[in-house]
Amino acid sequence: MLPFAIFFLVFFHSVSSTGTLMDEYLFGFDNLDEDIVGFLLRSRVTGTLYGFEKMKEDSMNSFMGSRKFEELFGFDKPNGDCTGFFPGSKVTETLFGFEKPEENLVNEWDLEEDVDGVNIFMINCSGNRIDHPHTGRCSYIINNRQDTLASLVFKVNSPPLKMDTNYYVSLFIKLADNPVNMTYATVKLIASTTLTNGTFEFITFYLIVDPADVNYYIDTLSLIELDDMSQKWKTVLNEKIEKIRKSDVRLTMIRGGFTPENVTVEIRQEAHDFKFGAVVRAVHFLRNETLFQNYRAFALKYFTWAGFENDFKWKMMERNQRGKISFIPPDRALDIFDANKVVEWDVNNECLHAHYYEIETGELDLLCKLFKRTKDIDHVAKLCTNDYEILRNGRMTSAAINLALDLKRRGCGVDCFGAQSHLKSFTLPIDAEVLKKRIQLACSTGLPVSVTELSVHTDNETLRADELEKAVTIYFSQECVHGILMWGFSDQYPVVFRKDSALAAGVDVKPNKAGQRMIDLISKVWNTSFDINMNGVVSTHGFRAFHGSYKLTVRKGSQIIHEGTFHVKKGSSTKVYVSLANG
């Protein structure tokens, strides 16, 4: 049975935001000034943050109407009293992968009573309570809509919102009708703040649903204040990292007849289980010029995960002649890597932003079929969604989450959730609690999350290093995130075609400040390597170590008397025993 979909936005309530927002902002006017773009990352309430664009039926009909709605999902349209939907049940947020924090709840409206016409009212539409709840006993159905702005409006004036504070707003909605002569509908959650002389008066929330002839159910609007992490993000997040990225290890050394004097045990972490990686170009791994040798050496030394930028795309493999496909560059480049295989695959990259295949084939449910067919061909590779405007701003955050939940619910074979993270200069400095909230929302899908294209764009290398550390720390501190893929690293042949996000410089491909910061995080800050001096017949040492592979070396003076390896895994303690011969 089909659930409501969640729509959410996070906005920054700033003392400089005087007056009501201009209309063009509400309709997605794209102004790239620093203080009106970024949505969750340093923003006022802006047009960009509202811009939720619902994709076509193949991927978003889990929560929006479509011509094939009933056929695809077996949804029985409710009778007039709507008793056919979640009859007599209370469907919780957790069921849909959305976990609502309670400690900072500012206010909540569950629509259990009739609207009062003052703080909750209707514009250019009619509506009534109906037995069709997301939570509680009922929701509201909005119908007889005269235009796309016709909506139930929430006017919030108590308690007063704080200045310079981030808030999270969530709302649940489900279309009651299928768009006529359209394959998709667009839903935008709008917020408009009104201040007088810098003093908060009220904020209004409403929906823009296009086309206007689509009616919808609405339920449970909540407003939550986010915790200010601007001064404490590093301490708080590294405490979380210590807890989730390490496990207990107990090392027992039995020396036999060995004299313990001058015996040292070296513990060295050689690799992380967490996938720290970068996007590369296949051709750069195949050429022998000095630059490309250095490029290849940098990638293999510092990263344990790689993704090919465009080499596996049809356009690249059919560059010269349509229908004549060349797999040679990516296949040869794969041979260089130890695994020599594709471990994750984006089935239809950035499908929230384009619907070419659905339009050309007429297959409304093509995306699910693509996942299933790919799974039939390759049982090993993890199949992922991947899109942008999920983390940098919130335009597609709810869309991407609802898409993933739909694919899971219908058994399409989705294994992981990919979220790009191109942090442009106008989003800096990063608002830590906002970016953290977005990645937590991605985690609410219940799928492993990969940050697939991380880049921080600024010509100021020190700022780039600082903000890169902040972003990587935020992502690494979330347990569901299992990999971070940098969007290129070299300023000579940058994958992003921009030098302001590079990690390495020159033909020598030497780390710059941002690159060195990334290397230090991986190899020093989040690395377990130390020495132990033996004493006694049996020497036992307990410690916590980052998940990954380790080399153990025992030396007596400068002589190596024992070598071994062990692996620290998530979710289990590791016991290591070393027995030394007499000596």
Q: Cβ(250)–Cβ(540) under 8 Å?
A: yes
pLDDT at res. 81 = 32
Residue at a domain's end among 503, 525, 547: 525
Of 102 and 222, the structure prediction assigns the larger pLDDT to: 222
pLDDT for res 375:
94
542, pLDDT greater than 90 = yes
The answer as to whether 475 is a domain residue is: yes
DSSP for 18-68, please give it: -SPPPHHHHTT-----GGGS-TTSS--S-HHHH------HHHHTTTS--TT
Shared domain for 217 and 284, answered yes or no, is no
Residue labelled with tokens 């990587």: 472
Give the per-residue pLDDT at 25.
23
Highest-confidence segment of 15-19, 117-121, 223-227, 241-245: 241-245
Q: What is the pLDDT of residues 425-454, one digit of tens each?
A: 999 999 999 999 999 999 999 999 999 999
In a domain, 267, yes or no: no
Report which of residues 66 and 422 the model is more confident about. Answer: 422
Same domain? 216 vs 337: no
34 within a domain of the structure (yes/no):
yes
- Cα–Cα–Cα angle for 209, 214, 217, nearest 5°? 80
Query: Is there a domain that residue 566 lies in?
Result: no
Instruction: Give the end of a domain, one of 473, 508, 525.
Output: 525
The residues, ordered by sequence, that sit 6+ positions from 259 with a Cβ below 8 Å of its Cβ are: 583
- pTM to 2 decimal places: 0.81
The answer to the question of residue 482 being in a domain is: yes
Same structural domain, 295 and 201: no
pLDDT of residue 92: 27
Domain of residue 58, CATH code: 2.60.120.260
Strand order in the sheet with 574-579: 538-546, 246-254, 574-579
Average pLDDT over residues 377-403: 93
Which domain, by its residues, includes 488?
273-525
Quote the pLDDT of residue 158: 75
286 and 351 assigned to the same domain: yes
Higher pLDDT, 80 or 167: 167
Give domain status of residue 469, yes or no: yes
Residue 560 has pLDDT above 60, yes or no: yes
pLDDT of res. 494 = 58
Regarding whether 141 and 215 lie in a shared domain, the answer is: yes
Sole residue written with tokens 């190899």: 523
Q: Are residues 218 and 300 in the same domain?
A: no
**Total structural domains within the chain:** 2
**Is the pLDDT reported for residue 124 higher than 80?**
yes
pLDDT at 84 over 60: no
Domain termination site, one of 208, 225, 242? 225
Please check whether residue 510 is in contact with residue 490, taking contact to mean a CB–CB distance below 8 angstroms. no
Structure confidence at residue 466 (pLDDT): 98
Is residue 118 domain-resident?
A: yes
Q: Which residues are bridge partners to 155 per DSSP?
A: 204
Tell me the per-residue pLDDT of 189-225, one tens digit each, with 9 for 90 and over: 888 888 888 777 888 999 999 999 999 999 998 989 9
Domain CATH number, residue 340: 3.20.20.80
Using alpha carbons, select from 15, 39, 52, 46 the residue that is nearest to residue 395: 52
pLDDT for position 79: 33
Q: Does residue 221 share a domain with residue 278?
A: no
